[in-house]
Amino acid sequence: MSIQLGQLAPDFDQNSTEGRIRFHEWLGDSWGVLFSHPKDFTPVCTTELAEVGRLKSEWDRRDVKVIGLSIDPVEAHRIWEADIEST
């Protein structure tokens, strides 16, 4: 399945670092950017997410929510957050 810009992404339930989310409910009426990463702690993914975090005020101003997904468990994401913040 391929999703194009502007198309509706499928809904899903997922544990996250912010608790359990249902994607469409979490997104609400906002635009969304969905990052898919192969694994936590990869250098490119870490720098990408650090830059996305640095631009949070711009995302907020444009009513855009950003979320990243990877195959790793939430516990690994929480440890990775510190690495991203230091980047």
| DSSP structure string for 4-66 | -TTSPPPP-EEEETTEEEEHHHHHTTSEEEEEE-SSTT-HHHHHHHHHHHHTHHHHHHTTEEE
Average pLDDT over residues 23-38: 90
Q: Does a structural domain hold residue 15?
A: no
The CATH number linked to 56 is 3.40.30.10
Residue 1 banded pLDDT, cuts 50, 70, 90: low
Comparing 22-31, 33-42, 55-64, which segment has the lowest mean pLDDT? Answer: 33-42
Q: Does a structural domain hold residue 4?
A: no
Q: How many domains does the chain have?
A: 1
Helix or strand or coil: residue 80?
A: helix
Residue range(s) defining the domain that contains residue 81: 20-86
In this model, does residue 34 exceed pLDDT 90? no
Q: Does a structural domain hold residue 2?
A: no
Q: Does a structural domain hold residue 14?
A: no
pLDDT score, position 86: 82
Average pLDDT over residues 10-14: 92
Q: Does a structural domain hold residue 47?
A: yes
Q: Does a structural domain hold residue 10?
A: no
